[in-house]
């Protein structure tokens, strides 16, 4: 059995930014309205999330109260920021408190001193509270400040909300950055996509339904389709669970395309989309079945590298 690959992930930000709510939606199957009953995180909550076979996310959800934040940069600095693979810093987009950027700057300094090549993802959260016509401007202004502070560290910014698919887009990109040899996986998906005569093949992580990888042979207008599908199917899965049913697979067909979403490997689901009338649904299902063993071995090898 391949050894487990442990990735340390820090989830940080000031109190009430929404860190624990998003973690609960992605990893604990909460729906958005249920997060109102969550309390504040006390100090640091540790959790190990098995993800994609042999990869384990060592998630540190750091309480954002001021006393805790100060201790992270003083007495606990070396312990908190040592060997970090990813920092996720969550900003409440409506906050005007200058300490948001100050704390982020201290995180950057601590990472540079204690971790090798960490990746930084900043989520400008609660974007649904900003008037739609102002969102692009607000996002750009905040992103420019963040990039200036991050300097040489690899960083990406996302506008997020627990009420739509933007949360899945951000977290899919975060997880994607942690998967070793993901380019090799994408090459194999491309071969599979061509063999199926499909327009697109998308691989989802089983528990979270975050997008791991995809192969696309046809252009699509909606650049946010992956996270929308993640959100829709995750909610459908939760509905099945509440009605004591088990989600296994689904097929959606209309005059323009047929889409299969099916169990693929022990840690993934796959979606195959085809618009060609000559591609029979039964043939697609056989192709999925025949590819399972190969991709299971490949995914396990990749996640433990």
Q: Mind listing the pLDDT tens digit for each residue in 206-242?
A: 888 999 999 999 888 888 888 888 888 888 888 888 8
What pLDDT does 49 receive?
84
Provide CB contacts within 8 A for 21, sequence distance 6+. Answer: 30, 32, 35, 38, 162
**What gap in Å lies between CA 269 and CA 265, rounded to an integer?**
7
What lies within 8 Å, CB to CB, of 287 at 6+ separation is: 192, 195, 196, 272
What is the four-CA torsion angle of 166, 168, 174, 178, rounded to 10 degrees? -160
Q: Please write the tens of the pLDDT for every residue from 148-157.
A: 999 999 999 9
Q: Which two tokens stand for residue 293?
A: 């063993």
Show the low-confidence residues of the chain (pLDDT under 50). Answer: 1-2
Strand runs (DSSP E) across the chain, as ranges?
Answer: 5-12, 44-51, 55-62, 86-92, 119-125, 154-159, 200-205, 211-216, 249-253, 258-265, 268-274
Token pair recorded at residue 246 = 């088990």
CA torsion, points 213, 23, 93, 147, in degrees to nearest 10? -50
**Per-residue pLDDT at 1:** 39
Whole-angstrom Cα distance, residue 232 to residue 109? 39
Contact between residue 45 and residue 61 where contact means Cβ atoms under 8 Å apart: yes
Burial 57-87 (b: 16+ CB within 10 A, else e): bbbbbbbbeeebbebbbeebbeebbeebbbb
Q: Rounded to whole angstroms, how far apart are CA atoms 80 and 44?
A: 9
Indicate the DSSP class of residue 43.
S
């Amino acid at each position: 059995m391949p050894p487990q690959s442990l990735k340390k992930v820090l989830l940080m930000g000031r109190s009430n930014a929404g860190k624990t709510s998003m973690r609960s939606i992605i990893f604990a199957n909460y729906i958005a309205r249920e997060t109102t009953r969550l309390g504040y995180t006390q100090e640091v909550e540790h959790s190990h999330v098995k993800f994609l076979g042999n990869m384990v996310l060592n998630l540190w959800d750091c309480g954002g109260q001021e006393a805790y934040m100060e201790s992270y940069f003083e007495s606990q600095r070396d312990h908190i920021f040592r060997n970090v693979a990813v920092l996720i810093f969550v900003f409440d987009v409506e906050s005007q408190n200058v300490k948001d950027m100050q704390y982020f700057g201290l995180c950057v300094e601590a990472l540079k001193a204690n971790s090798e090549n960490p990746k930084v993802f900043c989520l400008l959260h609660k974007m649904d509270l900003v008037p739609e016509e102002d969102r692009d401007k607000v996002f750009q202004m905040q992103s420019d400040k963040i990039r200036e502070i991050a300097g040489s560290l690899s960083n990406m910014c996302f506008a997020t909300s627990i009420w739509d698919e933007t949360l899945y887009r951000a977290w899919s990109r975060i997880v994607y950055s942690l998967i070793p040899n993901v380019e090799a996986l994408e090459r194999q998906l491309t071969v599979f996509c061509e063999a199926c005569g499909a327009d697109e093949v998308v691989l989802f992580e089983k528990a979270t339904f975050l997008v791991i990888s995809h192969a696309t042979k046809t252009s699509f207008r909606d650049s946010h389709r992956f996270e929308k599908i993640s959100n829709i199917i995750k909610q459908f899965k939760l509905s099945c669970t509440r009605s004591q049913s088990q989600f296994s697979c689904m097929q959606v067909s209309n005059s323009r395309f047929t889409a299969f979403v099916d169990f693929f490997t022990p840690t993934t689901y796959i979606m195959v989309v085809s618009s060609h009338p000559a591609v029979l649904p039964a043939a697609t299902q056989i192709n999925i079945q025949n590819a399972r063993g190969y991709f299971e071995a490949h995914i396990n090898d990749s996640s433990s590298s």
